[in-house]
């Protein structure tokens, strides 16, 4: 068995492959640069890759490819439609980084609310008077709007309630009663929810043509000038040029961002030069604990598929309708 990786996974994940596989680490996010290595690869584990990089050509060039593993829940780097047609499951790791991302969103909110980054930078310049900037505020009794109350959003709500915040939610998939069980007040009108919020946390998947630009100029214009925006989901969900304009004009007070239109970001990207932005390099899911969980879950899924078993955590379960999976049993998790 041969396993190819775009980048090496952690030692805990590699340990699961000891004695079971020959491993090639490409240190390259673009598989077209090493198609020769993929020809006899059974499992292709993708840690870092550009959107759509794992395309149909890559799969069709890989004669032995049985499974693609993605150490995360997002899979926009993989052409899942082509993989499904070829009967190649795309293993994902749902739940492995939920707490990590939720804590990161709260951290960005608190850092902004206390003006932590500017205070640190200015103090190091000798500007002790930054303490009088009057930008810091308490989150107690402030209203936090969570757009997207999936698993991560629910954890964020729990943490915000623990900070004595009022939590409201906008999510078309949850009823008023379901939100109430979480201690969250449901809003059916997104714009009314945005008007009421002191902090807006976006936590939803990117669905092309559906969730792109969920937050754009119209949404930013109705937010309070004292409001903060937090995005740890996908960059395209927030219209970045519109956000830049809102930050520069003072239409909103600040933004905490872990995701961007350009990834990796460039030093001259406008968003990195806007006032009162705290940025992290799409690292919300990269805690020690989450990295280990994702790696182990991904490897176990890939091993199960190579062994001819149906692994439940895949991007598209329709892959198991392919003739090559007829009569195969489900793996025990």
Q: Which of 118, 234, 236, 240 is catalytic?
A: 234
Instruction: Tell me how far CA of residue 102 lies from CA of 93, 97, 200, 230, in angstroms.
Output: 16, 9, 14, 11
Alpha-helical (H) ranges within 163-239 are: 176-181, 190-196, 217-222
Please check the confidence at residue 331 and state whether its pLDDT lies above 90.
yes
pLDDT band at residue 281 using 50, 70 and 90 as cut-offs: very high
pTM: 0.87
Q: Which of 47, 99, 104, 282 is catalytic?
A: 282
pLDDT band at residue 239 using 50, 70 and 90 as cut-offs: very high
**pLDDT of 95-151, one tens digit each?**
999 999 999 999 999 999 999 999 999 999 999 999 999 999 999 999 999 999 999
- Interatomic CA distance for residues 246 and 274, integer angstroms: 9
Over residues 27-47, the mean pLDDT reads 95
pLDDT value at position 206? 84
Alpha-helical (H) ranges within the chain are: 11-15, 35-38, 56-61, 80-86, 98-113, 116-124, 151-162, 176-181, 190-196, 217-222, 240-249, 288-306
Is 263 among the catalytic positions? Answer: yes
pLDDT value at position 76? 83
pLDDT value at position 73? 78
Average pLDDT, the chain: 96
pLDDT band at residue 56 using 50, 70 and 90 as cut-offs: very high
Over residues 156-162, the mean pLDDT reads 98
**pLDDT of 202-235, one tens digit each?**
999 888 888 999 999 999 999 999 999 999 999 9
Q: Which of 7, 122, 185, 263 is catalytic?
A: 263
- Interatomic CA distance for residues 267 and 262, integer angstroms: 11
Is 282 among the catalytic positions? Answer: yes
């Amino acid at each position: 068995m041969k396993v190819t990786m775009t980048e090496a996974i952690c030692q805990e994940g590699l340990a699961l492959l000891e004695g079971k596989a020959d491993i090639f680490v490409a240190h390259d996010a673009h598989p077209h640069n090493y198609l020769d290595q993929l020809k006899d690869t059974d499992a292709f584990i993708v840690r870092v890759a550009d959107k759509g990089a794992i395309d149909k050509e890559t799969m069709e060039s890989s004669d032995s490819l049985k499974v693609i593993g993605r150490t995360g829940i997002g899979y926009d780097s993989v052409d899942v439609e082509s993989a499904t047609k070829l009967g190649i499951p795309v293993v994902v790791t749902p739940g492995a980084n939920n707490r990590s991302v939720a804590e990161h969103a709260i951290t960005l909110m608190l850092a902004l609310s206390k003006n932590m980054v500017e205070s640190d930078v200015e103090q190091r310049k000798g500007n002790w008077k930054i303490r009088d900037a009057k930008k810091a505020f308490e989150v107690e009794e402030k209203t936090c709007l969570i757009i997207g109350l999936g698993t991560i959003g629910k954890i964020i709500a729990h943490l915000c309630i623990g900070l004595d915040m009022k939590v409201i939610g906008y999510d078309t998939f949850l009823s008023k009663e379901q939100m109430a069980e979480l201690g969250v007040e449901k809003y059916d009108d997104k714009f009314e929810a945005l008007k009421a919020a002191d902090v807006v946390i976006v936590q939803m998947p990117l669905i092309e043509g559906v969730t792109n630009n969920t937050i754009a100029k119209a949404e930013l214009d109705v937010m309070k000038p004292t409001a903060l925006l937090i995005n740890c989901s996908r960059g395209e969900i927030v219209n970045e040029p519109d956000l830049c304009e809102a930050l520069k004009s003072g239409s909103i007070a600040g933004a905490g961002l872990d995701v961007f239109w350009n990834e990796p970001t460039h030093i001259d990207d406008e968003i990195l030069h806007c006032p009162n932005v705290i940025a992290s390099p799409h690292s919300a899911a990269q805690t020690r604990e989450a990295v280990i969980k994702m790696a182990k879950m991904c490897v176990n899924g890939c091993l199960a598929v190579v062994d001819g078993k149906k692994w439940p955590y895949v991007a598209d379960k329709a892959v198991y309708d392919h003739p090559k999976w007829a009569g195969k049993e489900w793996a025990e998790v």
